[in-house]
Structure 1
Amino acid sequence: MTSGGLGRIEAGGVAVLDTPYPDAGAVIEATGSLDALAEAKVVRRIPLDGDAGTGLPAPIARPRAVWGIGMNYHSKAELTGRPVPDEPVLYLAAPSSVCGPGAAVRLPAGQTAEMDYEAEIAVVIGRTLDHAAEDDAWSAVAAVTAANDMTCRDIMKRTGWPVLAKSFPGFTPLGASLLGRDEITRPDAIGVRSWVRGESRQDSSSADMIFPIPELLARISRYAVLHPGDVVLTGTPAGTGQDRGDFLRPGDTVRVEIDGVLPLTIRVRA
């Protein structure tokens, strides 16, 4: 999605499309996928600059719901010495926390000293899932994108509520583009990486997940119905600020890359 409408990433730029849909979320909620955009007429082309994707809005600007999971990578469990969970540790974040690439995310001054980053694969639901079987769950995915599931670790410990630690304005950056499900040949091998201040921090893939994406979606659907346009954040590998004892501060940049998706970069401001 661009500031001028929906677009496809092609030939090193964005092909802006003639479509009745205001954003990608509307396409997915109406049709269940991004297929409706495949044959849309191109009205103009916009080149992508060196920091591809910066300045594009979040492709799903206001999800119906934002689900997340704690401790879903073996590397994270091993590093912390915590046992591998038998059930996913699930939570919701406020949809108002969503922002797009290039955003300046405010550090909640006076409330936290432990603002953290979490590179994650975000799954966008395309078809309703209600008590779904694991074998059926992947077919209900519309697309994936990059996410930075930002968290105030000290607020989490103090309140015991992930929703409070993760729902500050801009704390759920999404983007910069969507990768349709049919373009993903190996959902069990999607790369996820992060950089902070230009330094590599996380480098893993969905192969290391404790609850793979289809199983995770099926398990959530046992307790709550997942609707088209919902976003599910699938967990973060080892290498967060919590793991390193090095939290975010004003002026920091965080870059997240998911295979097949334009990079997602945000800046922390005072």
Structure 2
Amino acid sequence: MTTHISNEAHAVDPRFAGLPSRPGKIIAVHLSYPSRADQRGRRPAHPSYFLKPSSSVAASGGSIERPEGTELLAFEGEVALVIGEPARRVSAGDAWSHVAWVTASNDFGLYDLRANDRGSNVRSKGGDGFTPIGPELIDARIVPPDALRVRVWVNGEIAQDDTTAGLLFTFPQMVADLSQHFTLESGDVILTGTPAGSSVVAPGDVVEVEVDAPGVAGAPSSGRLVTTVVQGTASFDASLGSLPAVDDTQRAEAWGSREAAGLPAEPIASSAASAPGVLTPELRAKLEKAPVAGLSQQLRKRGLNDVTIDGVRPMHPDRKVVGTARTLRFVPHREDLFASHGGGYNAQKRAFDAVGEGEVIVIEARGETRSGTLGDILAIRAHARGAAAIVTDGGVRDYEAVAAVGIPVYTSGAHPAVLGRRHVPWDVDVTIGCGGTTVQPGDVVVGDADGVIVIPPTLVEEVVDAALAQEDEDAWVAARVAEGHPVDGLFPMNAHWRARYDEALQQVHTPTP
């Protein structure tokens, strides 16, 4: 059943013609469709959100301005949920009953303005007309949340086409999760993420979005939400804030790929260069101090449990390893593939020739221990290039000679066989699995005698600061235990011991007169 809106307020402000009223807040989900997450190269463990102003809402049939001096205005067709009954701390099982309607939306974004507000998207997605919604509302009571379809056409050609079956986060989960933090009020809108296919549009382009439920009786539909892109004439004032700026990374993300953006394939380059400034000297020094066990504990607190590279042991257990990942992938041996990819300047040789100073070569060998994955010559090459370490979940041949090179190496053990017995060197600088853990180029890798851990670059500073703070706390607790205090109430600390610890900290940080 499709609902036609009749509201006197729309005669005053036609922007909200596709909604029952002006929404108090609009909450948008960063990633929810597997197709989009895979395109971005990451699948988050939990949903994350940003807010859009209600002033960005527009009705079907309107236009959106691409501001003067910008080039990367991108569309994102989405299912919009409209809250009916207010929701506060509702369960996932009850959450859908608080959604009154679903409809089509277009979460436009201007990548030229994303750099300084990345994550919050305040300026890049908050502009007037950047959230078209409508034109018709579908009664949420008659459509299962996993039976909806969203499609987008640009100038009549299909650009996005996906369903809500198999989302990373279900619609009821989103509603319940948000209701943990604040009240979802009647008329609030949740934009539920976009599938793969989002791309750039230019003045003159017409974008249409439709949400429907083809498997439901009557095939209810939002109708087509139509928006025309026009060229704006107003420019930004540099004296007030950041100006639009783009680079090839933004172009590739806005268009969906480097190929779609008309850019050449990305050359093999240092992963540190792809994430400049991730490991500053100060941050590297902190990581040198933080034990892997402490970092693992802090990542676990943040929901990341699968970040240790299992099954590898250090050849130099007294050496601490800190660096950014450079990846190399082997696939299982097959004679014809080894003939085409195993010889010449193969992926293995390219990886060791290209590794940069402070980087860690991480090798996916699928835990296959019945062959070597490197020997002394490649270890020497990595050492000469200034690599921080080598991590492989396969074997190492010339084990003693590799150990003598001096570069820290983590491996599953020694094996005398050459590469071609079990492996084909396949590609470099791609997302891999090593020791049961996903590793991406540019991830931060830390190793000590306990093992190796992988830290997402966006979390590294937060995690290492927390780990060092925990180390200080543990040292204080250990000193009290050494004085004869029982561990009960001290480890972990109860309110009494916490107050004593806070007092001790205050004394340490209070300057002497």
TM-score by structure 1 length? 0.76
Deviation at 1:60, TM superposition (A): 4.3
Q: Please point out which of 194, 208, 213 is paired with 1:236.
A: 194
Q: Distance in 2 between matches of 1:115 and 1:151?
A: 6
Where 1:187 maps in the other structure, the secondary structure is coil
Instruction: Please list every run of 5 or more consecutive structure 2 residues that lacks an aligned counterpart in the other structure.
Output: 213-220, 232-513
Name the structure 2 match of 1:252.
Answer: 205
Q: Distance in 1 between matches of 2:77 and 2:84?
A: 22
Q: Please point out which of 68, 91, 96 is paired with 2:28.
A: 68
Per-residue CA distance 1:231-256 (angstroms, 9 max, x = gap) = 00000000001xxxxx1110000000
Where 1:210 maps in the other structure, the secondary structure is coil
Deviation at 1:105, TM superposition (A): 1.0
Deviation at 1:56, TM superposition (A): 9.3
Q: Distance in 1 between matches of 2:166 and 2:78?
A: 12
Name the structure 1 match of 2:486.
Answer: none
How many corresponding residue pairs? 218
Q: Distance in 2 between matches of 1:235 and 1:249?
A: 22
Instruction: Please list every run of 5 or more consecutive structure 1 residues that lacks an aligned counterpart in the other structure.
Output: 1-7, 25-54, 242-246
Name the structure 2 match of 1:106.
Answer: 65
Identity %: 36
Name the structure 2 match of 1:34.
Answer: none
Q: Is the 8 A contact 2:147 2:165 kept in 1?
A: yes
Letter in 1 for 2:226: T
Where 2:103 maps in the other structure, the secondary structure is strand
Does 2:138 align with 1:182?
A: no
CA distance 1:9–1:181, change in 2 (3 Å)? closer
Deviation at 1:153, TM superposition (A): 1.9
- Aligned pairs (5 A) from 1:33-182: 57-60=17-20, 62-82=22-42, 84-110=43-69, 112-160=70-118, 161-182=120-141
Q: Distance in 1 between matches of 2:23 and 2:89?
A: 21
Per-residue CA distance 1:58-83 (angstroms, 9 max, x = gap) = 3245211000001111011112211x
Does 2:166 align with 1:196?
A: no
Q: Distance in 2 between matches of 1:140 and 1:58?
A: 19
Structural RMSD (CA): 2.1
Q: Flag as ranges the 4+ runs of structure 1 deviating above 6 A.
A: none
Q: Please point out which of 165, 183, 207 is paired with 2:165.
A: 207
Per-residue CA distance 1:163-219 (angstroms, 9 max, x = gap) = 2211111000000000111221x2112000101122111000111321110001111
CA distance 1:208–1:197, change in 2 (3 Å)? farther
* Structure of larger gyration radius: 2
Deviation at 1:222, TM superposition (A): 1.1
Deviation at 1:9, TM superposition (A): 5.9
CA distance 1:89–1:200, change in 2 (3 Å)? same
Deviation at 1:157, TM superposition (A): 2.6
| Higher-helix-fraction structure | 2
Letter in 1 for 2:89: H
TM-score by structure 2 length? 0.41
Name the structure 1 match of 2:8.
Answer: 22
Where 1:72 maps in the other structure, the secondary structure is coil
| Higher-strand-fraction structure | 1
Q: Distance in 2 between matches of 1:248 and 1:61?
A: 29
Q: Distance in 2 between matches of 1:140 and 1:159?
A: 31
Does 2:252 align with 1:266?
A: no
CA distance 1:107–1:180, change in 2 (3 Å)? same
Q: Distance in 2 between matches of 1:169 and 1:182?
A: 31
Q: Is the 8 A contact 2:18 2:137 kept in 1?
A: no
Where 2:181 maps in the other structure, the secondary structure is coil
Q: Distance in 1 between matches of 2:141 and 2:2?
A: 16
Q: Distance in 1 between matches of 2:179 and 2:159?
A: 32
Where 1:222 maps in the other structure, the secondary structure is helix
Deviation at 1:57, TM superposition (A): 2.9
Q: Distance in 2 between matches of 1:133 and 1:23?
A: 33
> Which of structures 1 and 2 has the larger relative contact order (alpha carbons within 8 angstroms, sep 6+)?
1
